[in-house]
């Protein structure tokens, strides 16, 4: 019997049976819970990670059982909330990850915690009920720990055009019983691969199962940006095929070769031939300026320190430049919002960072828009309410407008940017919000 009357997102996500990082992002244009924006910069859903209890420490004691500060604390649940002070009604600082052994700096009583609060990071307090005291030294690791060759926090898989049944238990698959359905083009995160009765299944973040033959694994783009040296200009092709000339085509026959989209060039000079601009490359070749996405370097929109890292998004060129102080250090192609979802111009600051989260627009208001559902979108950096810089594993069209308002980066670039954006993500943490003493990086969109 096949009972897949319900859409996967409505029957699983909205019921709370499935939680994937606690992030629901529209990147403009979807049904976005207003409670998130109302609570900025501490959105409830953004940081409400699952709190299923993890395995207890092999050696440890309850927080508060001793008046002395423990050598470290072990996080009990899969995710636990951290606050800027010892008060559950105060501003949130981020989330810590189960099984991580964190330092313990101070303990203090406070509202919203039946135990005592423990400061595990500067302005990062976790309730003692989510922790176990440990006599061992802190050994939290930088997350996520990726297997060789993997460039996103988790592999993700898409349903084909016909969709795919989702099973609550492997035994349900044996009788083809499914009350949930993954719609075509929707993506789930693969936490584990399992075999059952000769078939391979993927276990999702919510503990559900999808038959591997019913979905296909995402193959994220391996494109990446380039280091900027001495403010040199960079350019990338963005058409399927672009001519690269061996000499300036000034009326005579000139040999040329063709290169694919996203080929990078370092540019040295500009030549105007009867109104057509050609750019010379470091290799002595020539490319039409109109065939390239190019970097332009500007002064920061606000005072920055000499070591402050900030980001400049040029939507006309679909290029992001990373600066340290006033000097550009890195540049790459992006995909910003298209048509009515154009990424808003302005100057902002990163107000939340998380390793990955869910982005969805199940029921678009515009009938011409297609619904989407994407688990574990990687390397998310919010800067303008629900608009973020983040990695995209579902397309490789960087250099072209594409998104619903966010700024898409190739996963390798998104990780590079994420690792340098402020506030820094502490070891053992999944998400971090800034504080007055630890502000977010500046982002300019123009």
40 φ, ψ (degrees, to nearest 5): -55, 135
- What is the reported pLDDT for 11? 39
- What is the reported pLDDT for 61? 81
- What is the reported pLDDT for 143? 97
Domain with CATH 2.40.440.10 in the chain: 309-357+366-445
- What is the reported pLDDT for 60? 67
Q: What is the pLDDT of residues 231-290, one digit of tens each?
A: 999 999 999 999 999 999 887 889 999 999 999 999 999 999 999 999 999 999 999 999
Q: Which two tokens mark 396?
A: 């490789």
Would you say domain 233-294 falls under CATH 2.30.30.40? yes
Instruction: Tell me the C-alpha distance between 365 and 152, whole Å.
Output: 30
| DSSP H/E element including 174 | helix 170-174
DSSP conformation class of 435? B
CATH tag, 309-357+366-445: 2.40.440.10
- What is the reported pLDDT for 251? 77
Low-confidence ranges of the chain (pLDDT < 70): 1-60
DSSP conformation class of 10? I
| DSSP H/E element including 172 | helix 170-174
Cβ–Cβ < 8 Å for 404, 26 = yes
- What is the reported pLDDT for 66? 81
- What is the reported pLDDT for 62? 85
Strand partners, 287: 279
Q: Is 427 helix (H, G, I), strand (E, B) or coil?
A: coil
Q: Is 11 helix (H, G, I), strand (E, B) or coil?
A: helix
- What is the reported pLDDT for 363? 76
354 half-sphere exposure, CB direction, 13 A CA radius: 30
- Pseudo-torsion of CA 275, 279, 284, 287, nearest 10°? -80
- Pseudo-torsion of CA 439, 442, 443, 446, nearest 10°? 150
10 Å CB burial of residue 323 (0-12, 13-18, 19+) is buried
**Which CATH number fits the domain 61-134, given the four candidates 1.10.1760, 1.10.3470, 3.10.560, 2.30.30?**
2.30.30
């Amino acid at each position: 019997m096949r009972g897949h009357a319900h859409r996967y997102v409505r029957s699983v996500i909205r019921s709370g049976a499935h939680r994937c990082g606690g992030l629901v992002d529209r990147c403009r244009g979807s049904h976005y819970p207003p409670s998130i924006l109302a609570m900025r910069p501490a959105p409830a859903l953004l940081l409400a990670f699952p709190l299923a209890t993890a395995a207890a420490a092999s050696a440890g004691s309850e927080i508060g059982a001793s008046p002395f500060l423990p050598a470290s604390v072990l996080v009990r649940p899969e995710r636990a909330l951290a606050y800027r002070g010892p008060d559950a009604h105060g501003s949130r600082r981020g989330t810590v990850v189960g099984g991580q052994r964190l330092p313990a700096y101070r303990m203090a009583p406070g509202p919203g915690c039946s135990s005592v609060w423990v400061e595990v990071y500067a302005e990062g307090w976790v309730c003692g009920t989510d922790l176990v005291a440990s006599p061992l030294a802190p050994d939290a690791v930088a997350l996520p720990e990726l297997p060789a060759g993997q460039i996103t926090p988790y592999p993700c898989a898409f349903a084909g055009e016909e969709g795919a049944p989702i099973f609550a238990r492997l035994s349900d698959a044996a009788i083809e019983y499914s009350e949930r359905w993954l719609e075509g083009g929707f993506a789930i995160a693969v936490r584990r691969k399992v075999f059952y009765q000769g078939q391979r299944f993927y276990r999702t973040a919510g503990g559900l199962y999808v038959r591997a033959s019913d979905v296909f694994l995402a193959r994220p783009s391996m494109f990446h940006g380039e280091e900027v040296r001495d403010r040199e200009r960079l350019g990338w092709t963005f058409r399927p095929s672009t001519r690269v000339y061996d000499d300036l085509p000034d009326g005579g026959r000139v040999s040329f070769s063709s290169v694919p989209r996203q080929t990078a060039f370092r540019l040295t000079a500009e030549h105007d031939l009867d109104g057509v601009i050609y750019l010379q490359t470091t290799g002595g070749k020539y490319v039409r300026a109109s065939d390239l996405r190019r970097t332009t370097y500007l002064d920061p929109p606000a005072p920055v320190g000499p070591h402050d890292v900030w980001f400049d998004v040029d939507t006309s060129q679909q290029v992001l430049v990373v600066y340290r102080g006033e000097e550009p250090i890195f540049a790459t192609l992006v995909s910003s919002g298209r048509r009515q979802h154009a990424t808003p111009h302005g100057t902002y600051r990163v107000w939340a960072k998380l390793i990955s989260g869910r982005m969805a627009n199940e029921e678009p208001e515009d009938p011409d828009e297609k619904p989407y559902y994407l688990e574990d979108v990687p390397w998310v950096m919010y800067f303008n309410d629900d608009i973020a810089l983040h990695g995209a594993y579902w397309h490789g069209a960087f250099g072209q407008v594409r998104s619903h308002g966010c700024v898409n980066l190739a996963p390798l670039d998104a990780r590079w940017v994420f690792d340098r954006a402020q506030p820094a993500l502490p070891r053992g943490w999944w998400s971090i919000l800034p504080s007055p003493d630890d502000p977010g990086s500046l982002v300019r969109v123009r």
